[in-house]
Structure 1
């Protein structure tokens, strides 16, 4: 929301800007339909009230003595910190989880560079459901399942979320174990009473959701199991400094080398000694700075939960640095081969596939092309969420061993025939690569076309050969793989369609919600 003045205020002749005092009862309308009122006698610089894309309430304080600012709608509200916040800039104010405030925490707007306050996504209004550890706002059913099935949670972990299908209603999601010993998530509708109470089973009703939670902590009373502990919440992502695109090498502190590839190394690092990031260093000569920057400027506009976020670049001196968000479990290929990855069961493998399809559906919608989709270019978080990396980079690589399609570095086994033969890269050639990626996932990272050289793969595929169904691969998944490998690009499905099929792979024959206990 754009900040506006509710009442015209005369400029103070002695100071720059416009000011208000409690005495004259001027009120400022701030984002989020809140009213910000100034304390008695103290003054505020109104010129710096601006909207901010990272949901900072961007107010620059002109501190005469000591200023308190209160937030009003019908009555004063107090906000509680949901996450600890470590100051990134000198003007930021760190705080601890659970702290309350009678004044705004001053911070620095990443867009305007004006002084302001802490990120709004790190706080919630006190005495509302949003401050409860078990409440997850704006989370879809599928993502609720992913959160609950993350390694940090156990059977009995639960969360309350807003219902996707019934506006204004809530759902209870609980992690459970089925008859085969597989981890599953059960969902229960929380229904409202006319008098304002709630119930899951009409046999027992509650005045509020807190009372309901306490009851089901003591006994299951018809649920699949009793509630144990709230689902672990992923920490809200710190907003990146929007002005920090071309950054200095000195602002990056390399900490740990994570790996090395054909075109450079990957490091875990810190930006400004505060924000953990991943840094990809490119070997000199890998690509021209101009071509890279042109592509990178396009890449940074692609922002989705299933795409690795591109933060910044270093291009003034070689090697080029690419700064992205850090993903704790590294590449999907390495994770699948690891001790933890080998234990991942089929439903989670299908979910990995669905997450990648979701990211590619976004790329498809944006009329973009990845060009190098494979397990090595998908990253995994500590809560086993997948994000697609390196989208678009393949287009600007200048290495002869890569650009020559028969070169040793070219990913022949993942590349569609029309892209190999004619250089025709489209979203449909990405779909071919996705089929090979499904093979990598279901085989826990095995090399596709085992025992075959690149030239053998090229000639065999040209003659109509397709990889056989891997052991333990469901027939339905293999059918998706072969649909990705249709000879005619237009006969291959869309990522939007494949995402819907994979999302419903196990739920198509099940009811959305458990029956009332």
Structure 2
């Protein structure tokens, strides 16, 4: 491979990128640019001619040493020709396809455009299955249904994913509609032939997954509906703001919009480094020891899960700043009381509960404890995605009204009796709190134990009182709440069990895969 030629081409592209003013759509420094191109000989001349004849508007202005171009068109042209030349002259060059849009956050970061070719790690081989827009890789059945049932997706919206039950097989998931169920999702198993082909039914076999998908986009051929639109992707969260961006300077953050205020500080929407939207929790001085917080934060940042709000960075000097992912819909409590959550029906509320249980099941597996699980500490994003926030912070608060556990600031109504009375916090006390959170969901944010003050709640719960079934709540869901409120912590269910119960709440009687009509 001629690495020198690649180096010249990369230099050309870097010069293009560095000389581009994206706001004015103007490329400056023509003399430097032309000299670089000339290094490439006759092939480069063809590029100059093509640029001159089709992409200069107006033509080159020598007196200003600049020319005006459509920046994106030129860069795409350069990249296309670059790819073509490498393939022709070098043979066997490996190209990659970016799976998501990504905007560079720092000067040594790389921006990518969804499904455009690139050379970088973190992308997929351009001719491989993972590079195809409709392939979503490893995705659970429940997450698939959440994604396909998002508002804006129509009947026939589809995706292909790895099969959860059969190694080497795939699943085709399609959004459907019928009179009995309304909007729903059908799943079909794609099986693999010994010779490498694929099929849903043996009478229609295909050499590749691409050909199978193409066939069913043209004909339903026994499926519930013809494949119409690829399901929009959801960008995965990065592990942090950037490499080595953990303890960050306060000056790198800009507080832009105050989202809320509590006993111990404020929450703001802001920007890090002028590039990345984040949520910033500011803590009042004296709320917690900076040393203890930093120690706990080191643990918290390692807890990575789809249903936990990721901790991005911290400002560890007082006033402490905690930087996390920004969730557009705010707290679950506000969402239920004042946002679109007021209009949600039971199936979507149960699904939100299942998401929270999913995150708590991860915390359970990691032998961690939340200590303050309630709707106010759950955040809601686009497409009704729920994530758990503030896990572990309650233990660090240094406030007499809070640490007394019966003070005005302590969330008595959500706290298990053994934790409130004796300070015995465990994952099972989190299970109790989850049962209270379920009542917040089905009542759209009503305060638990209505009409009772904290002291009365403690006394009544110790005597065996449990909240009755809320209006409109199925008795089976209330039974789960009561399991969470068992007096003996060991008799309460695990979060793994609760997650399974809630995820299957409306689907337990349905087959896992559809046989299809006339297949």
Q: Tell me, yes or no, if the aligned pair for 2:224 and 2:516 is still in contact at 8 Å.
A: no
Taking the TM superposition and a 5 Å limit, the aligned residue runs for 1:11-50 are 38-39=3-4
Q: Tell me, yes or no, if the aligned pair for 1:158 and 1:175 is still in contact at 8 Å.
A: yes
- Using the size of structure 1 for normalisation, the TM-score is 0.79
Q: Per the alignment, in what secondary structure is the counterpart of residue 97 of structure 1?
A: coil
Shift of 1:281: 0.7
Cross-structure match for 1:93: 110
Q: Tell me, yes or no, if the aligned pair for 2:173 and 2:188 is still in contact at 8 Å.
A: yes
Taking the TM superposition and a 5 Å limit, the aligned residue runs for 1:206-217 are 206-217=206-217
Taking the TM superposition and a 5 Å limit, the aligned residue runs for 1:140-289 are 140-240=140-240, 241-289=242-290
Q: Tell me, yes or no, if the aligned pair for 2:157 and 2:229 is still in contact at 8 Å.
A: yes
Structure 2 unaligned regions, length at least 5: 9-38, 41-81
Distance, in Å, in 1 between the alignment partners of 2:5 and 2:220 is 53
Distance, in Å, in 1 between the alignment partners of 2:483 and 2:423 is 21
Shift of 1:242: 4.3
Cross-structure match for 2:477: 477
Distance, in Å, in 2 between the alignment partners of 1:180 and 1:346 is 17
Distance, in Å, in 2 between the alignment partners of 1:464 and 1:93 is 59
Offset from partner CA, 1:446-480 (integer Å, 9 cap, x none): 21112222122111111111011112222221111
Between 1:191-200 and 1:286-295, the stretch displaced more is: 191-200
Shift of 1:178: 4.0
Cross-structure match for 1:19: none
Q: Tell me, yes or no, if the aligned pair for 1:403 and 1:410 is still in contact at 8 Å.
A: yes
Shift of 1:264: 1.3
Cross-structure match for 2:94: 77
Distance, in Å, in 2 between the alignment partners of 1:204 and 1:282 is 62
Cross-structure match for 2:447: 447
Shift of 1:311: 1.2
Count of residues in Structure 1 that have an aligned counterpart in Structure 2 = 440
Distance, in Å, in 1 between the alignment partners of 2:231 and 2:343 is 21
Distance, in Å, in 1 between the alignment partners of 2:244 and 2:183 is 44
Shift of 1:370: 0.7
Distance, in Å, in 1 between the alignment partners of 2:94 and 2:263 is 55
Structure 1 unaligned regions, length at least 5: 1-21, 23-36, 44-64, 105-117
Q: Per the alignment, in what secondary structure is the counterpart of residue 205 of structure 1?
A: strand
Shift of 1:436: 0.3
Cross-structure match for 1:512: 512
Superposition CA RMSD, Å: 2.5
Cross-structure match for 1:414: 414
Q: Tell me, yes or no, if the aligned pair for 2:115 and 2:131 is still in contact at 8 Å.
A: no
Moved over 6 A (4+): 40-43, 68-71
Cross-structure match for 1:60: none
Shift of 1:239: 4.1
Q: Tell me, yes or no, if the aligned pair for 1:443 and 1:470 is still in contact at 8 Å.
A: yes
Seen in structure 2, the aligned counterparts of structure 1 residues 183 and 335 have a Cα distance that, compared at 3 Å, is farther
Distance, in Å, in 2 between the alignment partners of 1:492 and 1:401 is 29
Seen in structure 2, the aligned counterparts of structure 1 residues 155 and 449 have a Cα distance that, compared at 3 Å, is farther
